[in-house]
């Protein structure tokens, strides 16, 4: 990218600084998991895989996101807008309120600036080490871009590094052991558990519990029990007699959770590309 165009993206970023700061605070209109997946989509669209990997690693620490069809449209718009500033001005054109639309636009602009700053830093490094032509003009452009983008990029990289380091200290997601012949409810619960316990809090809870805590679900004539603790999750058919709690009701929410799990895996496979 020409330095002039990079300067324009940076100029777009300045009036959105407050919105971007709120994007990283608790209670933001765009939750942290979606924020990181959106940033990864933007970085991939700009061809900076290193930045996409950083955001995906952050998202992995946060745990699986509970995505729906609207998220597909948001990510598609973000990927397109990352190369077309006109789409930023138009907004996502999706059924979201104005606050969310402004935050999405700010997230894309921020993601582009960060990705391009890292891209220019990589280019400068190649010039210095002789892996790319040592053109003075190109090196000056790269250096100028690094300086312009540093205020938006350095804090993010530092935060991502801390989150990644913290994530290495947190126990791995619990293994899920399912009944050898699971009924439909057991299947759905096994699909939903990674989303429920995939985040830092759930992983710590599953590893820290010294005993297995049984929680049962019942829907109509079907029942299943989930046992959480000692670093694993067991899903078995039927309502266990020793269950600490029983949730009795419609299975529709679990069906939606199961479908979202499959959709999430498909989206993740595309983001990794």
For residues 191 and 202, the answer to whether their CB atoms sit within 8 Å is no
Q: Is the pLDDT of residue 59 over 90?
A: no
Q: Is the pLDDT of residue 63 over 90?
A: no
Q: Is the pLDDT of residue 262 over 50?
A: no
- SS3 of 20-78: the string is HHHHCCCCCCCCHHHHHHHHHHHHHHCCCHHHHHHHHHHHHHHCCCCCCHHHHHHHHHH
Condensed to tens digits (0 to 9), the pLDDT of residues 237-256 reads 999 999 998 888 655 555 45
pLDDT band at 71 (very low <50, low <70, confident <90, very high): confident
What is the token pair recorded at 149?
A: 């983008």
Residue with tokens 């983008």: 149
Condensed to tens digits (0 to 9), the pLDDT of residues 172-203 reads 788 889 988 998 888 888 887 877 777 777 88
| Residue range 78-85: mean pLDDT, rounded | 91
Looking at the chain, the whole-number percentage of residues with pLDDT higher than 70 is 90
CA-CA distance, 127 to 118, in Å (whole number)? 14
Dihedral of CA atoms 43, 44, 45, 47 in degrees, nearest 10, equals 90
Q: Is the pLDDT of residue 18 over 90?
A: yes
Instruction: Enter the DSSP assignment of 16.
Output: G
Torsion-angle region of residue 134: left (phi > 0), alpha (psi -120 to 50) or beta?
beta
- The predicted pLDDT at position 14 comes to 94
- The predicted pLDDT at position 254 comes to 55
- The predicted pLDDT at position 265 comes to 46
Global pTM reads 0.73
- Maximum alpha-carbon separation in the chain: 75
Q: Is the pLDDT of residue 264 over 70?
A: no
DSSP 101-155: HHHHHHHHHHHHHHHHHHHHHHHHHHHHHTSS---HHHHHHHHHHHHHHHHHHHH
| Residue range 67-79: mean pLDDT, rounded | 87
pLDDT band at 231 (very low <50, low <70, confident <90, very high): confident
| Residue range 128-133: mean pLDDT, rounded | 83
Contacts (Cβ under 8 Å, ≥6 apart) of 244: 213, 214, 215
For residues 205 and 228, the answer to whether their CB atoms sit within 8 Å is yes
Mean pLDDT of the chain: 85
Residue with tokens 């940076």: 10
Find, among 241, 240, 231, the residue nearest to 210 by Cα: 231
- The predicted pLDDT at position 52 comes to 94
| Residue range 143-170: mean pLDDT, rounded | 89
């Amino acid at each position: 990218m020409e330095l002039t165009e990079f300067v324009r993206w940076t100029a777009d970023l300045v009036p959105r600084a407050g919105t971007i700061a709120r994007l990283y605070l608790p209670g933001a209109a765009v939750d942290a998991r979606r924020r990181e997946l959106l940033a990864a989509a933007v970085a991939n669209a700009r061809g900076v895989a290193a930045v996409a990997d950083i955001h995906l690693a952050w998202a992995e620490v946060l745990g699986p996101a509970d995505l729906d069809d609207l998220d597909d449209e948001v990510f598609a718009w973000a990927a397109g807008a990352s190369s077309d500033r006109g789409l930023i001005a138009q907004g996502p054109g999706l059924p979201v309120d104005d606050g969310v639309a402004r935050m999405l636009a700010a997230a894309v602009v921020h993601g582009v600036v960060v990705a391009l700053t890292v891209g220019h830093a990589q280019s400068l490094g190649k010039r210095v080490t002789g892996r790319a032509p040592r053109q003075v003009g190109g090196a000056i452009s790269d250096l100028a871009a690094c300086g312009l983008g540093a205020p938006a990029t350095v804090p993010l990289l530092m935060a991502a590094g801390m989150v990644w380091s913290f994530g290495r200290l947190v126990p791995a997601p619990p293994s899920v052991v399912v009944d050898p012949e699971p009924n439909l409810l057991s299947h759905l619960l096994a699909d939903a558990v990674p989303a429920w316990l995939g985040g830092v809090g759930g992983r710590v809870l599953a590893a820290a519990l010294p005993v297995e805590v049984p929680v049962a679900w019942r829907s109509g004539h079907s029942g299943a029990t989930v046992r959480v603790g000692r670093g694993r999750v067991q899903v078995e058919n039927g309502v266990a007699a020793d269950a600490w709690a029983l949730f009795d009701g419609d299975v529709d929410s679990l069906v939606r959770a199961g479908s979202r799990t499959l959709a999430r895996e498909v989206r993740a496979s595309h983001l990794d590309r």
